[in-house]
Amino acid sequence: MASYDECLQIIRELAEPFADEGVTIEEESVLGAELGLSSLRTLELVADLEDRLDVSLPLNALPGVRTVGELARLLEKASGGNEG
């Protein structure tokens, strides 16, 4: 179970090697346009995040994810962090 803030922190850590150099990863950062992540890179990042939190993110949920914050919310939900 991971909180939203923990998910955010994990994304920052794992996205850094994938993101364009010198880019700051903020909650509002758009994964493609601002971080420079291609769709392939985004899926690689998702796989790394899944491993870290021991969850599987359904592909169906990903089209609704545009920003780092939205990805953190999805991870939080998948890890059971927002239950109750």
Partner 1 sequence: MKLFEKFEALAATREHLLAMGPLPFGVVTERILSPTEGIVEGRRTILAGTNNYLGLTFDPACIEAGRQALTDEGTGTTGSRMANGTYAGHRALEEEIAAFYDRRHAIVFTTGFAASMGMVAALAGPDDVLLIDADSHASIYDGCRLSGAEIIRFRHNNPEDLAKRLRRLGERAARTLVVSEGLFSMLGDQAPLEEIVAVKDEYGAALLLDEAHSMGVFGERGRGLAEARGVEDGVDFVVGTFSKSLGSVGGFCVSKHPQLEIVRMASRAYIFTASPTPSIVASTRAALRLIRARPELRTRLWENARRLYAGLAECGFELGPEPGPVVAVFVDDPERAIRSWHRLLDAGVYVNLVIPPATPDNRALLRCSISAAHTPAQIDHIVEAFANLDAAAGAVAGTA
- Does residue 40 belong to the site contacting partner 1 (CB under 8 A)? yes
- Does residue 38 belong to the site contacting partner 1 (CB under 8 A)? yes
- Does residue 20 belong to the site contacting partner 1 (CB under 8 A)? no
What does each C-alpha distance from 34 to 23, 27, 79 come to in angstroms? 8, 11, 26
Least distance in angstroms from the C-beta of 82 to partner 1: 18
Task: Judge whether 74 and 57 are in contact, CB under 8 Å.
Answer: yes
- Does residue 43 belong to the site contacting partner 1 (CB under 8 A)? yes
Least distance in angstroms from the C-beta of 50 to partner 1: 8
> Cβ atoms within 10 A of the Cβ of 84, count?
3
